[in-house]
Amino acid sequence: MKGCKSVPTPIITTLKFTASAGKPFDNPSLYRSIVGSLQYATFTRPDIAFSVNKCVKRILRYLVRTTHHGLIFHPSTNLRLYAFSNSDWGFDLDDRRSTCG
């Protein structure tokens, strides 16, 4: 992904994913390695948590654009995190489960 064109968002919001759409990745080991690295990145980049397992190539292009974003943790800081979420019961076309728990 070196030298790729960056994108402003981690995922296309109008895109609908299904388990049967698309073609399998050529190198499953490389794909698993990339996804594992991105899952680790979600600890300090919560903005990519949802899209990590949905849209790997786009999330890599988004990270290229936003290398200056992220959370910094200091051991002596009293840490308080606040998060807000909106469920979407109809987004997952395979099982209609909530996308955010």
Domain ranges of the chain: 28-65
Q: Which of 17-21, 22-26, 60-64, 78-82 has the highest mean pLDDT?
A: 60-64
More confident site: 21 or 61: 61
Q: What is the pLDDT of residue 64?
A: 85
Over the stretch 36-86, which tens digit does the pLDDT of each residue have? 888 888 888 888 887 776 777 778 888 888 888 887 777 776 777 777 666
Q: Say what the pLDDT of residue 17 is.
A: 66
What local confidence, expressed as pLDDT, does residue 65 receive? Answer: 87
N- to C-terminal Cα separation, the chain: 31
pTM: 0.45
pLDDT at position 8 is 85
Buried b (16+ CB within 10 A) or exposed e, 47-80: bbbbbbeebbebbbbbbeebeeeeeeeeeeeeee
How far is 94 from 70, CA to CA, in rounded Å? 32
